[in-house]
Amino acid sequence: MVFSILVTAPPVGGSGAAAALRFARAALAAGHGVRQVFFHGDGVAALVAVDPPGGAPDLAAGWAELSSAHGFPLLACETALARRGLDRCAATGPVRPGTLGQFMVALSDAGRVVQFRD
């Protein structure tokens, strides 16, 4: 199975953003594929490198590592970045700015879409 993952959960204040990363790791470990991960809404903040509070995982580093190891793209919605005052370059690692149109096009290559939100 090939998954396309949509992350709309903020990196703090809930568990959705961290759950998305855990899901991707588990899916890949089980032999599944990831077509892309698209970060939209408050989810774009998960791609900004920060010092995570109190032992929380560094989501930006985790996504960058997983994407590099398995060759799938990380797309951050340009509009969501702008609306939150985040520069397109604020996202780190292999993240590319993207659009909902790119997300929709990639869905044709995915067997399932999984969304993580809080």
The residue whose two tokens read 């370059």 is 89
Q: By mean pLDDT, which of 43-47, 71-75, 88-92 is the weakest?
A: 88-92
pTM, full prediction? 0.89
**Token pair listed for 1:** 């199975």
53-73 tens-digit pLDDT: 666 678 888 999 999 999 999
Residues involved in catalysis:
77
pLDDT of residue 99: 92
Domain spans, the chain: 2-116
Q: How many helices (H) and strands (E) does the chain have?
A: 4, 5
Tokens of 75: 């797309």
Q: What is the CATH number of domain 2-116?
A: 3.40.1260.10
Which parts of 1-118 are beta strand (E)? 2-7, 33-39, 74-77, 95-98, 112-116
Over residues 89-117, the pLDDT tens digits come to 555 567 888 999 999 998 888 899 999 99
Q: How far apart are CA 4 and CA 16, in angstroms?
A: 16
Joined tokens for residue 94: 């292999």
Query: What was the pLDDT predicted at 53?
Result: 63
- Please compute the mean of the pLDDT values over residues 3-31 and round it to a whole number: 92
Q: Which two tokens stand for residue 39?
A: 């970060």
